[in-house]
Structure 1
């Protein structure tokens, strides 16, 4: 495991704070509907830069932030079960990412949004090479709790692959 100097750690943390501050600024624009196309592209670029650990590991791409949050993932051999179909955990993770992030936007950045229940139903298989497009739809966006339905479709065929129901809690930013 790599060891980092205190200077390297401080530099990393400063960069992270600057990126998170810009991300929050852009997300507030999404919440108010004032984001421009260039800013939306910038926001998508922040996420492609690996700010979010599991999303970066899986290869999740943030495609759209408004009016609905849309993420995509191209299925690779790393995402499949031994018999070649996409592991259900990929869909659950996509649902958690899309729903939690959409919830953060719906809360206008005024709270941390965390999933508390994730129920994913699998309808059709996908395989390496398929692109899964996951769209978060609000069912209930309350002040302290939210409910999201995330539809996972095959981007090429438009066929529904899975659905996720995600309940989140909104906790105040400390």
Structure 2
């Protein structure tokens, strides 16, 4: 296991703080409706460059942050059940990611937003090669709780594949 010097640790923390500050700045621009296409691409690159977590493992790409949060996933053989259709857990995960991140933006980027209930309904299958586009729609964005409806569609056909209803809690960062 690699050992890091105090200087390397300090440099990492400084870089992380700068990235977080820029992310909060961009999220503020999302909320004010002033986010440019270039800034949206910069924000998406921040997530793709993070290189950690389930979104990275699944291959999630953030496409848009305003007016609604949109993400996409190209289905591969790694996402399917033994008989070749997308595992339902993929849709539930996409719903959790889209709704939680949309909730984080709605809360101003200053609070922790966590899913507390995830109900995903499967309507039609997708298979390797299909692109799932998930869009988070606010139902209720309260001070301490939120409710999001996420629609998962086949990007090529526009057909609805699944829906997720995600209830979140908004908590102050400690």
Task: State the TM-score, normalized to the length of structure 2.
Answer: 0.93
Match of 2:82 in 1: 82
SS in 1 for 2:26: helix
- Measured after TM superposition, the shift of residue 110 of structure 1 is 2.9
- Measured after TM superposition, the shift of residue 51 of structure 1 is 5.3
- Measured after TM superposition, the shift of residue 11 of structure 1 is 3.6
Match of 1:107 in 2: 107
Distance 2:108 2:115 in 1: 17
Q: Does 1:56 align with 2:56?
A: yes
Structure 1 runs of 4+ aligned residues shifted over 6 Å read: none
Match of 1:151 in 2: 151
Pick which of 151-160 and 18-27 moved more. 18-27
- Measured after TM superposition, the shift of residue 15 of structure 1 is 2.5
Match of 2:66 in 1: 66
- Measured after TM superposition, the shift of residue 9 of structure 1 is 4.0
C-alpha distance 106-52 of structure 1, shift in aligned 2 (>3 A) = farther
Distance 1:23 1:52 in 2: 17
Pick which of 59-68 and 47-56 moved more. 47-56
Deviations 1:65-96 (A, max 9, x none): 01110000000111111111111111011000
Distance 2:82 2:14 in 1: 42
Task: State the TM-score, normalized to the length of structure 1.
Answer: 0.93
How many residue pairs match? The answer is: 173
Distance 1:171 1:72 in 2: 27
SS in 1 for 2:71: strand
- Measured after TM superposition, the shift of residue 8 of structure 1 is 4.2
Match of 1:5 in 2: 4
C-alpha distance 64-165 of structure 1, shift in aligned 2 (>3 A) = same
C-alpha distance 50-11 of structure 1, shift in aligned 2 (>3 A) = same
